[in-house]
Structure 1
Amino acid sequence: MTTILLADDHGLIRGGIRMILQSEDDFEIVGEAADGAEAVDLARSLRPDLVLMDVQMPGLDGLEATRQIVAAGDCAVLILTTFNREDYLFQALQAGASGFLLKNSPPEDLISAVRVVARGDSLLAPELTRRLFDQFMARPAASQRPDLLNLLTEREEQILRLMANGDSNAEIAVKLFVGDATVKTHVSRVLNKLGLRDRVQAVVYAYETGVVSPGDNPP
């Protein structure tokens, strides 16, 4: 059973999301919050598997609430917002969100996203990677290679580049002519060596540190 906390300042929206998710036998809504501060408090007390978090809420917004929840290690956060804005996407991922979904997505996409994040994976579709790419277009290249990158083997850095390109494990396996299990092992090692939580953080890290740059074509 996946336990879920809903955080949105509109009761009708919470009700609609609740109806969609409660139609699944393996989901349980354990609480609802009308603002970011309440979401932080309920995440701490209820310890759900994940929070479905709106961005724009009165008082403490969803981005800051996400930072606090993730920093405390209370649960994973899936951002669910009306606003199709690249700055929200980037700030949400920097805050530690494990995924980002628009409210006009089909119900089946919401259900799938909850399952993906709940099992500890990240929701980073290719179109989201494209937006991250656009965020870095105007940024200067990193001037110095971080020491942590030197911990990676050549193959592990190659895996990091492909993750930053938005490739799934299966796609990476095809490109490198290896098995899915081998890719999964390499991905885990990359995350552990760099102290990253998931693939989303890996992509942000790759762009911020200059491992990949706008215009690169990963091997």
Structure 2
Amino acid sequence: MLNLVTVVIADDHALVREGLKTILKSQSGISVLGMAENGEEAVRLCRRLNPDVALMDLSMPIKSGVQAIQELSGEGKTKFLALTAHVEPDHIYSALDAGASGYVLKTSSSKELVMAIETVMQGKVYLAPDISAEVAKGFLQRDRSNSCDSLESLTEREREVLKQVLAGYKNREIADLLVISVKTVEKHRSNFMKKLGLRSKAELKAYSEELKKKGIYL
């Protein structure tokens, strides 16, 4: 990582918090700004410190990690990494739908954790290898036989925005490129997500891969 990445750790187990802090402090490009022991404290801490990344345990008292992510999502620059022992699809989708940019298991290595942080900092979605198959399975079980028809339902501008999103551009960059406001980009993005039946960044990524396999280009 070229620039210093600031992190907040949220977990209700002190040993886990301290262990994560030790791992991250050993990385020259990461600074731990603070730690929270429940979801409510995590919300307050993230709003006050505005970290680059927040590691969120999903099962915390007072307010769950999913609730905290949902409440904070879109407020600042913070990207959220769900850190949990749960591998069930329902937990995965709940975290991603709430606004998490990644999902890491507590059984992951320190190397993988750092990789996950680097990935979300690049604006990408990180899914632990052990759960990637579950997400893909859930996505493919949904009706995707009408990919072409779904694309046809998009307006020309929605297709333009979708193309730039799939190319990895952020909302501000797309706004500048298409000479429209960021709010307009967000509106088009919301529209095509609904029309395509997509609920999260992970599903958008899977949809992009599906289009490529079918030879469909925007």
Contact 2:8 2:32 in 1 (8 A): yes
Whole-angstrom CA distance in 2 between matches of 1:189 and 1:75: 14
Count of aligned residue pairs for this structure pair: 185
Whole-angstrom CA distance in 2 between matches of 1:86 and 1:97: 14
Letter of the structure 2 residue corresponding to residue 70 of structure 1: S
- Aligned partner of 1:145 among 126, 138, 150: 150
Contact 1:89 1:100 in 2 (8 A): yes
Contact 1:6 1:52 in 2 (8 A): yes
Letter of the structure 1 residue corresponding to residue 65 of structure 2: G
2:61 partner SS: coil
Q: Could you say if the C-alpha distance between residues 32 and 142 of structure 1 is closer, same or farther in structure 2, counting changes exceeding 3 Å?
A: farther
Q: CA RMSD in A?
A: 3.4
Letter of the structure 2 residue corresponding to residue 13 of structure 1: V
Task: Look up the match of 2:78.
Answer: 75
TM-score by length of 2: 0.70
Contact 2:23 2:110 in 1 (8 A): yes
- When structure 1 is superposed on structure 2, of 5-14 and 19-28 the one drifting more is 19-28
Deviation of the 1:89 alpha carbon: 1.1
Q: Could you say if the C-alpha distance between residues 13 and 126 of structure 1 is closer, same or farther in structure 2, counting changes exceeding 3 Å?
A: closer
Deviation of the 1:69 alpha carbon: 1.4
Letter of the structure 2 residue corresponding to residue 204 of structure 1: E
Whole-angstrom CA distance in 2 between matches of 1:20 and 1:211: 34
TM-score by length of 1: 0.69
Task: Look up the match of 1:21.
Answer: 24
Contact 1:2 1:27 in 2 (8 A): yes
**Percent identity for Structure 1 against Structure 2:** 30
Task: Look up the match of 2:115.
Answer: 112
Deviation of the 1:34 alpha carbon: 0.6
- Aligned partner of 2:125 among 122, 126, 131: 122
Gaps of 5+ in 1: 161-185
- Aligned partner of 2:189 among 186, 189, 195: 195
Whole-angstrom CA distance in 1 between matches of 2:99 and 2:23: 25
